[in-house]
Chains A and B, each alone.
Chain A
Amino acid sequence: MGKSSKKNKVILAPPLPPDVDDEDILVSDEDVDFVEENREHVHLITGLNRKALDKVVTRVPDHDEDKVELLYEERERKRRAALALKPKDDDDLEVDPVDALPVKTLQGELLYRTAKRARSEDKAKGAESRSDDKDADAKQSSQKECKGRSNKKEDSKLQNVQRPLEVPKEKLHSVVLEEVKEELSADELFEKKKAQLAELGMAMLEDPESNIRSLNDLLIICNDTDQRVVKLAIMSLLAVFRDIIPSYRIRQLTEKELAVEVSKEVKKTRYYEYTLIRSYKAYLQKLISLEKQPYFYLVAVRCLCSLLDAAPHFNHRESLLASVVKNLSSSNDVARKLCSEAIRSLFRNEGKHRGEATVEAVRLVSASVKLNDCQLHPDVVEVCLSLKFDEDLGKDESKEEKLKPKKNKRYQNRDVTKPSEKKKIKKELLSKARQEVHADLRAVSFTLDPKEKKMIQRETLAALFETYFRILKHSMNTSNSRYKATSVFPGGSHPLLAPCLEGLGKFSHLIDLDFMSELIACLKKLSGYTDHQGEIPPDNTLSVSERLQCCIVAFKVWRSNLEALNVDLQDFFVQFYNLILEYRPDRDHGEVLADALKTLLWEGKQQDMLRAAAFIKRLATFALSFGSTEAIAALITLRHLLQKNTKCRNMLENDAGGGSLSSLVAKYDPEAKDPYLSGALATVLWELSLLQKHHDETVSGMASNILSMANLNATQNPVQLSSSNPLEAYKDLSMGRELSKPTHKVSQTLKCKRKRRSKEFVALSTDVLEKADCTVGEDELREKLQSHFAVLRGISENERLRTELNHALSSINMYKEYKKQKKFLCKIQLLHP
């Protein structure tokens, strides 16, 4: 439409904006500066013949204002596209009246631009001031024409979506829009915008190369006043970006490159890329700003996550990542889930971004933990569990480069990063920059050389453990003030501890040996162990699950480092021995307990006999008081211990006094705090005889199995019922698993063993049955029956009277009719005498 009108030279001008008082127009400082700077051009503007322009502008009033508005936008777009494609404009001074929107001068006067002025400015090459710099063509031309221009700041300023000069224009725009709104209902407008969005989006997807400018239009729609429109706009932009973002990172052009004359094709591509990046950045900024508004929060987060998932390699990843990591601790469950999923996929698909994003993300997590003093949602740290480390690389690293000591130092004084380290990174970066060509090549193939990979992994590990240790330290320092700290996050005052311990357990093989003893000491303290036996530390603040986890982690760390450590883990056994009693089925996680059983007792190679006996006794007692899932885990461990410590099998038999082994402590004390002093060897495992009666067949079977050990030689072992470890057994029997099993149809019919006499009562007690025979007294019965009769009679009497009354009434009414009839008869008689 716009095109045809152009051809026919029937140019429609937009209506003149209403006159605005000078005071109403805000003159920003930048505006002032700008005009001040370019004083010589002012005359061009001031000298314009307003009347002549008015004439043109108001010439065709027979179009709807809004149509003209649209027309304006469309035409402007086309014109600009044409400009972009044809850098060398013909000198024909075609004044497109739609360009005639006003521009404000320094004096606040409203002026109307003409193409003429724009052209003249275009011609003034080298001039730094370009007032007509609405969008990309400006940049494009500056790229091709302004070779000598080094004013990058100006450049970036130009890139802003909202440039100073646009402010008044926008303002007028909005005035016009308001008028439009008076005529168009909001819904119509919404529909229209929706259609427009769809159109633009489709165009973008069809041919991004030539429609790249539409991005800008979409971005403009993002500033719409209608929130629904904004939502739609950012969603469609997301779709567009996901689709058109290339699989490489777009690099800033160097001056040199800019200087070189390039072919049309290249120019076009450059323009395309440039616009893409600029819009992408603007879009991200928009998202980040929208994220602060509750209405847009979820949409914005979803877009951010989706973008991160789709384009972790692309430019502006940093802001994207920062925003997503920040939202990991959001109070909104949905947003948090989205973010953690996005980060996890980032960790999983390192191929997409060559691991760089991983490092950045882990660092961001670390920084965020530090910043918030460990008061964050557990999800923040939990995502790190999805990290993957190539173990071979780690080993090579420690052997070849011996970088570990350095790293350890870094751990120990985490707050001070060594300058040498920094330098090293810088150097690395520098060399990377030098080999840009190679990098580009690699970027295409997405392969990393092992050295680089190692580097990234090391960085990630460093950041990860820094986080973990910070959390541990924090838990220790503040453990005394648990009741003071009120936390909004689950997991008490140490929300991050649980995932942190889990992570430590998982990555325990990557922890450095030198650091081990400190870590173990730390864990010991956290597990609640005190040297003073016999008293419950009053300020022990961690939950049982957390303390159990501390024990597990300590053992895992110890074990995964070849058990070569000279670390005494006895205290952990003592602690565990007492923790078993603290376990509560609903409050604590049974799986943690089962895991602890597995890690501490089941997997251990050699057990001290006294200790083993103490644990055997305690586990047997434990199985009596807790549900079948916990019981089976305990029994499996117990059996395992009995198998390994054949001497403990004496406990299965009731020898007088337990023999020579019990000489140490003669009598068993079930409440002893120290397994070594409990005297468990002196007892008999009577529990098993009761456990044989357990309602759960698995448990009773296991109990019988264990009891059968008593008859066997020390070298013999009973038939294995199952080879699963405590944790597996626990999970197998857990209620959730149980309930998901298919139901077996109970089709059996029940049979009674003996015929019951039908008169026999089985459930009702006799004193209840005795009551049955108490009868009502005769007088009472008489009275009640009589009153019943009276009521019945009353009712029927009432009914009878009612019909009688009705009858009488209707009879009286009939009299009238009778009279009428009589009159009628009389008349007839009169007529026919």
Chain B
Amino acid sequence: MAKKLGKKARKFAHKHLQGGAKRSRKLRSQFNRRTRKDGKGREDDNRLNGDGGSEETRRNDPTMNMNDDVATLANCLEFPEDENELDGDLSDSDGYLSEDPECMYYSDSDDDNVLKECIVQDDLDEQNNEMRLAVEKQKRKLKKLLDKDPKFANFLEKWQLELVNFESKEDSDEQDEMDSVDNGVDSGDKDPPSDKILTSKTISEWCQLVLDEPKAPALRNLLNAFRDACQFGLNSNSLSMQRLQSTEVFYQIISFVLSKTDNIFRALLEISDDDKGKLMNQRNGKKWQDIEPLIKSYLRNSLDLISQLTDNQILTYVLTRLRTSAVYFSAYPSTSRRLLKMLVRLWASGDQNLSLSSFLMIREVASLLPDCLDFCLTKTYNAYLSSSKIVDNRNIENIDFILNCLVELYSLDIQKAGERAVISVGQLSAILRQASKTKGKEDLLKIDNWQYINCINLWVRFICVNYKDCHNLHLLFSSVVQIIRGVAHLLPGMRYLPLRLKLAQMLNELSNCSQMFFPVPSLIFGSLEFRETPQKEQTEKGKTHFSSILKVPRNMLKSRDFQEQCVLSAIEVLSAHFFQWSYHVSFPEVATIPLILLKRLQEQTTIESLRRPLKRMIDQVSENRDFVQRKREVVSFSPNDASSVESFLQEEEMNGGASFTQFYASVAKSRQSRGRKLV
């Protein structure tokens, strides 16, 4: 165990030793494995919240099994990613700033209880203690030997020298290849980095200085301290290890720099808002020249911090703080890319808050830096696809959220997004055609999976959001409609009812945004058929909600639960459909056939729990039907008078007073609560 843990720790350190350049090389594979690779941190997580950890691994599993056919589908749906890697326009410096000697270092009065305050809570410390003892023992032994034979000391020294030479040679070889810049000191600053120990008092003093006077040289010192804090643990030999000895200091530095620096920079640059043009104009100005190294150091070290942190809450905090500084990133496109890559990973991680804050950051950066938008769109789209492979009760909300984020991002630049939409919809359509041609099992499987459905859903949502604002969306619109119809056509039968309900919902959405008529009921008539159910119901184990499945398992087909869900979901979809046309002159006819079926079902059903919702639906629909019928009996226009038809009951619709509107609201509400209950 001891050895294993040690190995892990080494791996951890080694990983973070590598600069951004190497990390980005294996970009794709890393993306998938990233969460795993944070070996130590993950373990930490596991210990902290065992539940979350198991969920993580579970979600990781499908990502790891990249060889199954779902993966191949993902590959054909995904956008190709540009593997060309960026030079680091920030990474040419590790952000060390020359310090002003005026700034004093204070010694902490309580400096000697450093070790005590360290929170001893994990095996690592135990192990460290053990090792400390072992080292003592071995040293004593060595000393004995040395005492016994003084000449041995000479020999040992010689050997050690050799060893050091050899190692340094090897090291430098490696480092040269990887990123020599990482170790180098900023070329502009000849002074060696300070190795004075940072004490709590020192930091407080500095903070006070900086707050009083933003231009104070203490800012440099503080940023250096921030650098050390961010790089802490990256390199065991580095000075930062020696400079930071107290957890309190670490916290002080990080929290102060993150919360205050942005304002300080703004004050220094004399800009108030996120106006990018202003910033760009200033880029050649003197102020910028002066401050740039500071900003550079700040941004770069923040990135290091993000890549090191493992706790979602801290990450959320850091990202929220950093978001105000997003505008500075726009000055460094390639660094922005590095940032975006990290952000996308965090965005798809599954934690709602972290996801949201990283998305907001992504959006901020992408909107500020149009060059990065393409990169963002590809990355996020692929991340969405890979995270939507498996849908279950737990992640269904998250997927919905990610989907909305993605739509948000794609709506930033309609033209670029449109190109991508056309490509993606073309791929979907090609898969559908292939399946329709061969009707092969494998080809059908490519349709009958979450990725495909979620992908359709993405474009449906995208169209809905942008339909009103865009001219020529209708071609995309019609191909999406065709895909939806095709999927429903290729996957018939009761077992695919959940899938159909999903498609019907999509059609409802499309119908809502475009004000076109879609015969939604035809998709869900199957669920309104009466079927006999066994009187005795087996134990209701593994109750799965329709929203998290596409295909009903065979054994569930005849169950009561299935019946119930069928009818209730059908009522939901139908009421959405009816609601849309509830003020239309032909509402009575829209409702005729579904109403007949509903009535018949109500008479026949043996499930008591269904009677009430059915009756309520029937009553509401009939009421609205009578209402429209009464209203239209007194009008004099004919069906071919389009404008009059449009204006029929417009006022009432504006007021929204009809009882059906209220009914629909209550149905939607109960649906939400039902969904939440299952989560």
Chain A positions within 8 Å of B, measured between CB atoms, are: 581, 584-587, 620-628, 630-631, 652-654, 656, 670-671, 684-695, 707-708, 710-711, 735-736, 738-740, 743, 746-754, 756, 758, 761-765, 768-769, 771-776, 778, 780-782, 784-802, 804-805, 808-809, 811-812, 814-815, 818, 821-822
Contact = CB atoms under 8 A, between A and B. Distances in A.
Which of A628, A692, A739 has most chain B Cβ within 10 Å? Answer: A739
A811 B156 CA distance: 7
A623 to B, nearest CB: 8
A815 B138 CA distance: 13
A406 to B, nearest CB: 49
Interface string B505-532: 0000011001111110110011001000
B639 A753 contact: no
B103 interface: no
Contact of A740 (B311, B437, B584): B437
A69 to B, nearest CB: 51
A761 B408 contact: yes
Interface in B388-431: 401, 404-405, 407-408, 411-412, 414-415, 417-419, 421-422, 425-426, 429-430
Interface stretch (B85-93, B197-205, B377-385, B471-479): B471-479
A809 B473 CA distance: 73
B472 A801 contact: no
A801 B489 contact: no
Interface string B110-140: 0000000011011011011001101100110
Given A739-B433, A791-B44, A809-B138, 7 more contacts: A694-B519, A695-B510, A735-B489, A753-B469, A763-B411, A768-B404, A771-B352
Interface in B450-490: 461, 465-466, 469-473, 475-476, 478-479, 481-482, 485-486, 489-490
A627 B485 contact: yes
Given A750-B472, A756-B411, A801 B132 contact: yes
B526 A584 contact: yes
B596 interface: yes
Contact of A772 (B44, B356, B414, B517): B356
Interface string B136-171: 001101100100010110011001000000000000
Given A654-B638, A771-B352, A773-B320, A622 B593 contact: yes
Interface stretch (B66-74, B246-254, B533-541): B246-254
Nearest to B152: A818
Given A627-B485, A788-B311, A762 B316 contact: no
B232 A792 contact: yes
Going nearest first, the 6 A-B pairs with the smallest beta carbon separation are A750-B418, A792-B233, A735-B489, A686-B586, A808-B138, A786-B247
Contacts of B122: 791, 794
A240 B486 CA distance: 49
Contacts of A822: 151
B471 A751 contact: yes
B418 A776 contact: no
Contact of B436 (A652, A694, A739): A739
A818 B426 CA distance: 75
Which of B152, B352, B516, B517 has most chain A Cβ within 10 Å? Answer: B517
B622 to A, nearest CB: 12
B40 interface: yes
A735 B479 contact: no
Contacts of B401: 768
Interface string B299-312: 00000000011110
A795 B429 contact: no
B1 interface: no
Given A690-B581, A739-B486, A812-B138, A746 B479 contact: yes
A244 B437 CA distance: 41
A762 B233 contact: no
A750 B314 contact: no
Contacts of B478: 695
A808 B142 contact: yes
B640 interface: yes
B357 A624 contact: no
B250 A786 contact: yes
Given A749-B419, A776-B316, A787-B121, A798 B135 contact: no
A750 B640 contact: no
Nearest to A627: B522
B470 A753 contact: yes
What does DSSP make chain B's interface, helix, strand, loop or mixed?
A: helix
Contacts of A692: 642
Contacts of B42: none
B465 A762 contact: yes
Given A751-B472, A776-B317, A789-B232, A689 B585 contact: yes
A762 B407 contact: yes
Contacts of B310: 788
B139 to A, nearest CB: 5
Interface extent on B, as a size class? 35 or more
Contacts of B437: 739-740
A776 B141 CA distance: 51
B171 to A, nearest CB: 14
Nearest to B637: A654
B73 to A, nearest CB: 18
A455 B320 CA distance: 94
A761 B127 CA distance: 51
B470 A751 contact: yes
Given A735-B486, A743-B426, A784-B314, A670 B592 contact: yes
Interface stretch (B9-17, B94-102, B180-188, B664-672): B9-17
B461 A789 contact: no
A83 to B, nearest CB: 60
Contact of B251 (A627, A782, A815): A782
Contacts of B134: 805
B516 A695 contact: yes
Contacts of B411: 756, 762-763
A827 B350 CA distance: 72
Nearest to B625: A670
B135 A804 contact: yes
A785 B255 contact: yes
B313 to A, nearest CB: 5
Which of A695, A754, A756, A781 has most chain B Cβ within 10 Å? Answer: A695
A183 B97 CA distance: 91
B436 A686 contact: no
B639 A775 contact: no
B40 A758 contact: no
Nearest to A780: B313
A781 B318 CA distance: 10
Contacts of A753: 469-471
Contacts of B149: 815, 818
B522 A625 contact: yes
A696 to B, nearest CB: 8
Nearest to B436: A739
A786 B248 contact: yes
A689 B640 contact: yes
Contacts of B638: 652-654, 684, 710
A682 B458 CA distance: 46
B613 interface: no
A587 B526 contact: yes
A735 B436 contact: yes
A772 B320 contact: yes
B485 A774 contact: no
A366 to B, nearest CB: 34
A791 to B, nearest CB: 6
B635 interface: yes
Nearest to A789: B250
A694 B516 contact: yes
Contacts of B247: 785-787, 789-790, 793
A795 B119 contact: no
B492 interface: yes
A753 B472 CA distance: 10
A756 B411 CA distance: 9
A624 B12 contact: no
B590 A798 contact: no
Contact of A751 (B9, B314, B415): B415
